[in-house]
Amino acid sequence: MKKILFLSILLFSMSTFAQIHNRTFKFNIGLSHEQFDLKKGYQSFNDTSLTNHFDHKFTLPAFSFSEDFTLNQLFSVSGTLGYQLFKTDYNNANYGTHLFFGSINPQLSLFYRAGFEIYIKLKIGMIYRISKYSELSDQTQRFFPENYNLFTGVTGGFNFFMNDNWGINLELSLWSPEFINFGLTYRFFKGEKPTLAEQEGYYVD
């Protein structure tokens, strides 16, 4: 009797956390490669100039939002939009940077078991910077990136789902604006749910 009761509770718990999904949202904050590159540029300029000076006040975390479309149990594609603010003065005048970036990201799921997923994705996108660096001399501008850049990068990450819909994620990126990200993942099903979810290519926890 106790074994039957235990198995019943276990099966109920498993069914409670069973979920199929074909769409996820990700809300992330983190560090960017840009903030390290700009810090290096400020320091290099200050070390070589006797009359002019950059004073970096602060850097906000990089904020990003992604939407992921599941194609099957191996492949998905997502779009990412992000923003980061750099507060910097040049000779006591504001020369801070607003960094915007966006990318399209084909993704491969390397491992998926009971709500834990490890994945890798390619990032193809563009960086747009709003700053006053173009007003500086050509000699000074060489320490800093241009206002527009295209990039391709690689990201590795994982999702860990705490219930049917909500989870946490961590990502590490190379050759893209983002360096390391941490945040929340929300998953759901968009459209009419198929009756044969596994055969249709959707995850089942």
Residue 93 CB-half CA count within 13 A: 8
Question: 74 phi and psi, to 5 degrees?
Answer: -110, -40
Is residue 67 domain-resident?
yes
Residue 128: CATH number of its domain: 2.40.160.20
Is residue 127 domain-resident?
yes
* Domain, as residue range, for 111: 19-200
Is residue 139 domain-resident?
yes
Is residue 2 domain-resident?
no
User: What pTM did the predictor assign?
Assistant: 0.82
> Does the pLDDT value for residue 10 go beyond 70?
no
pLDDT of residue 4: 45
Is residue 42 domain-resident?
yes
pLDDT of residue 26: 97
Query: Tens digit of pLDDT for each residue in 42-79?
Result: 888 888 887 888 888 899 999 999 999 999 889 999 99
Structural domains in the chain (count) = 1
